[in-house]
Structure 1
Amino acid sequence: MNRYRHPWAARRWLARLLPVLALGMGATATRAQADWSQVVQRWADAAVHSSGLAEKSPLRLQVDVGALDPSLRLAPCARAEPYLPAGARLWGRSRLGLRCVDGPTRWNVFIPVTVQAFGPAWVLAGNVPAGAVLTAADAVESEVDWAAAPAPVLADPALWVGQVAARPLQAGQALRQSMVKAPQLFSMGAQVRVSAQGPGFAISTAGQALSAGSAGQNVRVRMTNGKIIEGIVLEDGTISALL
């Protein structure tokens, strides 16, 4: 006699079997996702290597590809292609796309990726208050992850010695471009010297700054005749204007 002749017996048998089937399917999906992560890892390693960044700089690059969302159930696919999404870059925390190009069902997913770039940099030896002028004694050389933050690392001391802390800085931070600014050379309303040149002439005269100024900034100046001109602040605090 058929042991599953009665519907309740068949349902009981299925109830015992379904968890086993689900476990097997879950393991298959997990293995497939791990395989796709390896495909993305190889692609990312090759892309970073082909950039030539490691050969052109003192950086030691490391690429870590994360895992696909375990809740995803991807359809079978004979070939999937990794790609860099628009607006993303292989630097710091980012993501890569993976799309099925050969399968009954096309799909497109994203995988987290972290690119670390270890190299020499200058790290603050102690806390620095906002507005303080940085000296060579404020930082020590160390190895840091250049890609850990968006702002570029200031690897050359000439780029930060004599600059002003743009905000309170903490010991252990690597000095980056966004952390410093040029010192203020004059305040708004100060009398400044303006040098201007044009075809066949060069003049130097006084004016009143309409804003505070630091080296390299564009500022507006009211001349003695009331005319307002724009110029670039030079290292010595004078303003170079083109008339």
Structure 2
Amino acid sequence: MRNLTALFVSLLALATLPASAADLSAQLTQFFQTRDAQHAAGMTVEIKTPQAQWPTCDAPHFSLPGNSRLWGAMSVAATCGDTRRFLQVQVQVTGEYLVATRLLARGSTVSPADFRLQQGRLDTLPSRALFDAESITDAVVLRDIQPGQPVTLSMMRQPWRVKAGQSVMVIASGEGFNASGEGKALNNAILAQSVRVRMGNGQVVSGKVDADGNILISL
């Protein structure tokens, strides 16, 4: 009788075991691939949570906070009926990212020839890593970047479209109103950034820089 009881307990434990590692990993991989179709082919999910804490149903419902990143280390809610468990996972993605082809010295202006694409793990890259050179053409390097080093947005800035002391045209517009006048910029600014301008009468106004270097004010 004791042996039968032990066998029953063992069978009951097997019936309530979490999903297999292969099944759950495949389901999670499909969930994350749907969120980022661009990198789906190079994506896998490694589950960090011990198996004893996994959901027990065959097909749990997965969800993430609204501000979750696309890959890297994160927590996923897995719901089975009224039971919710949180899984710690590492979403691994392989793809192309931007690296420097040579030493890029602080203060220098870059061109597409200064970068190349390299294949590797995207989920281990620094925050705000770049994946193409189009957005940083003519940008100015803020600190030395070594050859082969992954490039991030924080390593450079767009060139100044307006510089302090420069004469600029201020264009103010509103409903049924349009006026312009010349003044001097009081600070440096890149495209679409705010700049303060001292007008000829001494008045100081603020507006945003457009592609032509004009200062736009909406009234």
The TM-score, its normalising length taken from structure 1, stands at 0.66
Unaligned runs of 5+ in 2: 1-9
Residue 88 (structure 1) aligned with residue 68 (structure 2):
yes
**C-alpha distance in structure 1 between counterparts of 2:70 and 2:24, whole Å:** 13
> How far did residue 82 of structure 1 move?
4.8
Q: 1:176 to 1:204 in 2, by over 3 A?
A: same
Change (3 A) 1:128 1:36: same
Matched-pair identity in %? 19
Greater C-alpha radius of gyration: 1
Residue deviations 1:195-241 (CA, integer Å, cap 9, x gap)? 31433644241x23232222221112121223222222234544233
C-alpha distance in 2 between matches for 1:40 and 1:76: 9
- 1:230 matched to 2:206? The reply is yes
| Among candidates 105, 108, 111, match of residue 88 of structure 2 | 111
Q: Does residue 194 of the first structure (1) align with residue 169 of the second (2)?
A: yes
Aligned residue identity for 2:210 = L
Measured on the aligned residues, the alpha-carbon RMSD in Å equals 3.5
Matches within 5 A, 1:1-243: 32=17, 35-51=19-35, 53-54=37-38, 60-69=41-50, 73-74=52-53, 77-78=56-57, 81-86=60-65, 87-101=67-81, 106=83, 108-119=85-96, 121-147=97-123, 148-151=125-128, 153-155=130-132, 157-188=133-164, 190-198=165-173, 199=176, 201-205=178-182, 207-243=183-219
Counterpart position of 1:4:
none
Unaligned runs of 5+ in 1: 1-24
- Determine the C-alpha separation between the residues in 1 that align with 2:204 and 2:94: 47
How far the C-alpha of 1:134 sits from its partner, in A, is 0.8
Evaluate the alpha carbon distance shift between residue 108 and residue 136 of structure 1 in structure 2; reply closer, same or farther with a 3 A threshold: closer
DSSP 3-state at the match of 2:42: strand
Amino acid at match of 2:166: Q
Q: Which whole-Å CA distance do the structure 1 matches of 2:135 and 2:54 have between them?
A: 53
What is the aligned length?
Answer: 204
Aligned equivalents of 1:239 and 1:48: distance in 2?
A: 44
Query: For 1:40-69, what per-residue CA distance to the aligned partner results, in whole angstroms no more than 9, with x for missing partners?
Result: 312222223434623xxx774312222323
Residues 65 and 114 of structure 1 are in contact (CA less than 8 Å); yes or no, is this contact kept in structure 2?
Answer: yes
